[in-house]
Amino acid sequence: MSLRAESHAATSRLKRIAADMSNIIESLDTRDLHFEGEEVDSEVLNDPKGTVCIPFSAIYHTRGFKEPGTQAYLTGCPVRVRVLEVERFTSTKKVPSPNVYTIELTHGEFTWQVKRKFKHFQEFHRELLRYKAFVRIPIPTRSHTVRRQSIKRGEPRQMPSLPHTAESTVREEHFSSRRKQLEDYLTKILKMPMYRNYHGTMEFIGVNQLSFIHDLGPKGIEGFIMKRSGGHRIPGLNCCGQGRMCYRWSKRWLVVKDSFLLYMKPDSGAIAFVLLVDKEFNIKIGQKETETKYGLQIDNLSRSLILKCNSYRHAQWWRQGIDEFIRKHGKDFLTEHRFGSYAAVQKNTLAKWYVNAKWYFEDVANAMEAAKEEIFITDWWLSPEIFMKRPVVEGNRWRLDYILKRKAQQGVRIFVMLYKEVELALGINSEYSKRTLMHLHPNIKVMRHPDHVSSSVYLWAHHEKLVIVDQSVAFVGGIDLAYGRWDDDEHRLTDVGSVKRMAAVKSVSSTNLASAAESSELVPLQPQAPSPESPLFQRNADDAPDVSKMKGVGKPKKFSRFSIYKHLHKHGMHHADSVSSIDSESNKGSIRSLKTGVGELLGETRFWHGKDYCNFVFKDWVQLDKPFADFIDRYTTPRMPWHDISSVVHGKAARDVARHFIQRWNFTKIMKPKYRSLSYPFLLPKSQQTANELKYQVPEAVHATVQVIRSAADWSAGIKYHEESIHNAYVSVIENSKHYIYIENQFFISCADDKVVWNKIGDAIAQRILKAHRENKRFRVYVVIPLLPGFEGDISTGGGNALQAIMHFNYRTMCRGENSILAQLKTEVGDKWINYISFCGLRTYAELEGKLVTELIYVHSKLLIADDDTVIIGSANINDRSMLGKRDSEMAIIVQDTETVPSVMDGEDYSAGKFALSLRLRCFRVVLGGSDLNPEHQDPVCDKFFKEVWISTAARNATIFDKVFRCLPSDQVNNLAQLRDFINKPKLANDDPAKAAEELKKIRGFLVQFPFRFLEEEYLLPSVGTKESMVPMEVWT
């Protein structure tokens, strides 16, 4: 015990001595310190292997400025110095150092300038002498020992000396020699690692750990400033008082980059704030403007940041340095762009579309697998346990949580933002999703927003669906990584295996270019049959399937005991070990024909496991913490197919999408106290200058002009003025369309009355049709929406208040009331409106346990195509929530084709865009049946297609479904009394299944006419006294 006490006392004594010695050295008058030293350049400055870049991930590992061993410079690369000019300042006061030297420094690809007076050189020289003396004293502390050890011995070199002549005595004709002396001095200092790596040197030449990261773009001005707290535009983030007592001043290192500014805490190196350059970016100086002597005020949409300099001239240098640098390198961010968007129009951008989630999920999984630095995800809802590639033949390898964990273990930083729902209203359990993801690995960070009480945002949601990989590839669209979303072009109703769709539409692989090769669906298990030694099978133990969770509960079937394992063995694929999808030991589960890369396999598989098999109008999700337990009986209830659209963009457009994510992340970090810790870092946008250096590219993308558009506001992104560029883009594209508009959307709530509904999309459609009528030109509008809103409710009893409220506003837009599109048209064109616009839904059928069943296909797309050359894909519904900007947050892209292919429009030859045409043909093929190359689908405007294919198919399908199933919604049901009679009448599907099956063979595709007269005699808004009636009307619109 006494020995331990003695050693403790000795250690503390040593520490005290070390501290005293440090203080003595710090206070030495360095003018008397002229050691002749051995400061050695231990690095080979012209490394034969070339410069080693600092990785972008270094932004997450910043260290305190005075910590030894901090890497700021590029390895093997010299710093070159030129003193460019000398400015002589005249002053009424006698100034000992009137000359200011502009020094240009070059390090690798980076060039920057600093301004220093001779007195700064003198102070810097004294500090180096002090440091030299300090390093020579063997102080027994770890950091000092590390510092001493880092200074290697080699060829001796004298420390360079400064010119001794006083500045005031140097004549103008001798300036050039003075410049040369200072240039030589600084060059020599920067060749000696002992001094170059010293924090004082870095400060003198304006360098820190983030200066030379390639992906952060060119190097701007940097240095220490005093920063005032507050200035945020968001209520509640600033001190309530106005007096000076309420402000705190802190010393920070300010860094200027091409599209943002940041400041760091010098003691820890932590990034403490990021200020994005935007249309409101502005710099002011002066006491009057900033209420601070030598103040500098930097404004943007989110904050008014006040800095303090040590002189008026110093403030001027900062203003000029920032202003010139941003105007040179970041001018695109300073202006508002087309449609009022924050993002510029990006030409020559690689883009690709997706119809349905099968191919989208696969490409997202492959892009995540290729991630090197960062993955950003934001969703309205995220289910960690979903499978990204189906059928599941590689165990859990392609399950979302396993992919993210694998990448996090490889060092990739993963940032996820989830919408924090009002739990009483929604059952998406974002808290479970956050907890599950955060437990996977420390590199995965999850935020939820908004906090409903503190932000007083109860009604609006974060609705974007984004996946961004390395800020270079960005997936944008309507598909959440969540249960119920995965589907393909077949839109199957069943997943028990006893059923094959009777009039199956052949699926084809997703590609943007219609080609004859696309005639059969390929789900490549592997490019070639891998050997057992293949790395594919040397997987992490985490990828092994969890049998207890995964086993599907099924009923025995009377089918042959065919083993998929034997078939896989034949093709060298018997190691594909998914118990979830292949079960050779029992006859349970589903037996289905699998189209795979090795030919047709008849085997037992499930496409939708547990909670993924859903029908949310029948029953909303429950017990999401038990992901693999069914909550719907898949032997009695068909699933509700999910029809959706998404996209991916690369390069500069992907950077723009990432910028929106970063803006939201950094805002949420400031907004919620629990995220202010260092474990949730500030994110930095990569430079547009490096955007086209693509390390990964999604296959089959085409070049087009792309602009990112969004709905964002103060509550969602922390910006002063809201943005509704999606709304503006929709209206503009509709107004300027020449031939047709094709719309798929989850909602159709528009036609402004400036009281309840405000967005103008419906009015723009009506006006565009009336213009065509007046000009006697053909013009077509196709609108595909869900037959029923996606709310839990039994439609056979009326559907419930929420479902009816949405129906009310959908019908109000289409055909009911004076504001509706049809009412606006009928006043001028009468019944001829039918030649211009068609409203449809989607429906399908199947056999389930020997019974014929039908279900609507839920249209969740947010798509507009115009004239085969312009496309809008995103997360924004056609309603006020999505479009007005101040409500839900949304993200979309507008794609305008630059590559064209020959086509036909209104019977004449037409140059159609590759992206838009191929997408429209795929959509038509899915909803109408047939193939992508169907010549009937080529011309979307001619009478033959519009009347004999589109209208005719929709009407025929609707009639057959009505005859066989007596489907709801139906034009035969105008009120609730008729509804009761309607559902009690016998159905052909029950009375004569054989005849019903014959009728169903006549159905083509999924398209059905939208029933305009369903419940038209009922008042569909919530009645007084119901909980829905207490909700503000904006919730439904």
- Quick one: DSSP state of residue 718? -
Pairing of strands 295-299, 304-308: antiparallel
Whether 860 and 785 have beta carbons less than 8 Å apart is answered as no
471 and 654 Cβ atoms separated by less than 8 Å: yes
Distance CA 362, CA 341 (A): 30
Q: Is 463 known to be catalytic?
A: yes
Q: Of the listed 107, 144, 232, 463, which one is catalytic?
A: 463
Return the biggest CA–CA distance within the chain.
112
What distance in Å separates the CA atoms of residue 164 and residue 484, rounded to the nearest whole number? 78
Can you tell me the distance from the alpha carbon of 420 to that of 150, in angstroms, rounded to the nearest whole number? 49
Q: Does 971 qualify as catalytic in the annotation?
A: no
Phi, psi at 930, each rounded to 5°: 95, -155
727 among known catalytic residues: no
User: What CA–CA distance (Å, rounded) separates 398 from 362?
Assistant: 9
Residue with tokens 């085969």: 868
* Burial category of 562 from C-beta neighbours within 10 Å (exposed 0-12, middle 13-18, buried 19 and up): middle
Catalytic residue among 860, 886, 914, 937: 860
Active site residue 314: no
DSSP-based three-state secondary structure for 549: helix
- Are residues 148 and 138 in contact, defined by beta-carbon separation less than 8 angstroms? yes
- How far is residue 144's CA from residue 133's CA, in Å, rounded to a whole number? 12
Alpha-carbon distances, residue 664 vs 235, 380, 448, 668, 885 (angstroms): 16, 14, 11, 6, 14
Q: Which residue in the list 462, 567, 862, 886 is annotated as catalytic?
A: 862
Q: Could you confirm whether 867 is annotated as catalytic?
A: yes
Q: Is the dihedral of CA 568, 569, 572, 574 positive or negative?
A: positive
3-state secondary structure of 879: coil
Q: Of these residues, 115, 219, 465, 491, which one is catalytic?
A: 465
653: part of which helix (H) or strand (E)? Answer: helix 651-671
Q: Are 163 and 104 in contact (CB under 8 A)?
A: no
The first and second tokens of residue 773, run together, are: 């009528």
d(CA 869, CA 739): 11
- Catalytic residue list contains 487: no
Q: What residues contact residue 429 under an 8 Å CB cut-off, 6+ apart?
A: 624, 625
The DSSP H or E segment spanning 204 is: helix 199-205
First to last CA, the chain: 76
**Is the C-alpha dihedral spanning 265, 269, 275, 277 positive or negative?**
positive
Query: Position of tokens 């009639």?
Result: 959
Q: CA 190 → CA 48, 51, 77, 183, 211, distances in Å?
A: 20, 17, 11, 11, 16
Q: Which residues are catalytic?
A: 463, 465, 470, 860, 862, 867
